[in-house]
Structure formats: structure tokens, C-alpha cells
Amino acid sequence: MATKVGGRFHSSAVATPANAITVVRILATPLMLLLIIDLKVSWVAATAWLAVASTDFLDGWVARRQGATTSGAFLDPLADKVLVIGALAALAAVGLASWLPVMLIGGRELVISVYRSAVARHGVSVPARPLAKLKTATQDLAVGLILMPATGQHHLWIGHYILWGAVALAVLSGAQYLLDSATAGRGELPAA
């Protein structure tokens, strides 16, 4: 049951509108992957991607207004990882993207997830850094451009360049988190 205090959800609340939006993103992911595999470059797939990917911004907006929760801090990045890595893998499976960026981004996400789990056991929460948020937005943009007929059929290189930019941001933001780990080892985890 969601607990509200002063019109905002308590950090321990689970059943919140922001979390509901995040769960919709997770549940919509398999349908999105089927659209990518079946339709490849199409306005239907690109529009569906825009709708599903935009829920990331929507749930964040709702959470900031109604109160961020611990469950949301866990679910939101999980939903992002499932959606983006799934979409990139589907694009690679149908020959619209290379497997290398998928593996690099997936490897980064695995390393950072292990890191977050390890520090969480010591009571340390690791919020998303601005660079990591930019990485996610860049990944979303790359997938959308690859799916969009105007860029995906004749100018596929545009989406690929942006995808490689997302890989660079993934590596940089991952390094930023790991540098935070060294600081946390000294008991001084920096603010987000």
C-alpha cells in the first residue's frame, strides 16, 4: 500500500503512479521487440519506440512531483536496461546494428549492476548520474533513428554514429561510477 505524507509518497512506498508507469515500460518491452523483429525500419516501430521510451521521462517527472521511492530507484534503471538492451539486441538480430555496441553496452550495464548491488549491501544507494541519464537518452535516440524510415532506410549511418556515441557515454559513465567506488571505499561517496 502506498503511503503518502504531505501529498508525497514516502520513500518506502511501492504502489505509486511512477512505479506503475515503469512497470508498463517493462511489460511493453516484449511487444516492442516483436515490432522491431517483424517490421524492422517502419513508422509503426519508430512510433511505438517513441511511446515506450518516453515513459522513462514520464515516470521520472511523476516521481519528482509525487516523491521518489526506493522501489522506483530500483525499477526504473532495470526497466531502462531491459528495454534498451532488448531493443539493441533485436536490431542486431535483424542486421540493423552491429553486435559489438550491444555487447559493450550490455557489459557496462552488468558491471554497474554488480557494483550497485555490492554497495547496496553496505547501505549505500547510488543514484543515476547526469552522464548516465545522457547515455540512456542517447541510446533511446539511436534506436529511434535506426527504426525511423527517413533515417533507417537511406541514412542508417546517422543512427549508428549516435549509437557509438552512446557506447562512449556508457564507458565514461561506467568509469565515473567505478571511480565513485574508489571514493566510497574511503567512506566519501560523492553526491549525485
Owning domain of residue 76: 4-185
- Count how many domains the chain has: 1
84 is a domain residue: yes
192 is a domain residue: no
163 is a domain residue: yes
What is the maximum span of the chain, computed from C-alpha positions, in angstroms?
53
Q: What is the pLDDT at residue 171?
A: 95
* Stated pTM of the model: 0.84
> Which CATH number characterizes residue 177's domain?
1.20.120.1760
pLDDT in tens, 71-124: 777 788 889 899 999 999 999 999 999 999 999 999 999 988 888 778 777 776
Residues 6+ apart with CB under 8 A from 114: none
CA distances from 44 to 70, 78, 135, 148, 151 (A): 35, 25, 25, 9, 14
191 is a domain residue: no
* pLDDT band at residue 37 under the 50/70/90 scheme: very high
pLDDT in tens, 151-169: 876 777 899 999 999 999 9
190 is a domain residue: no
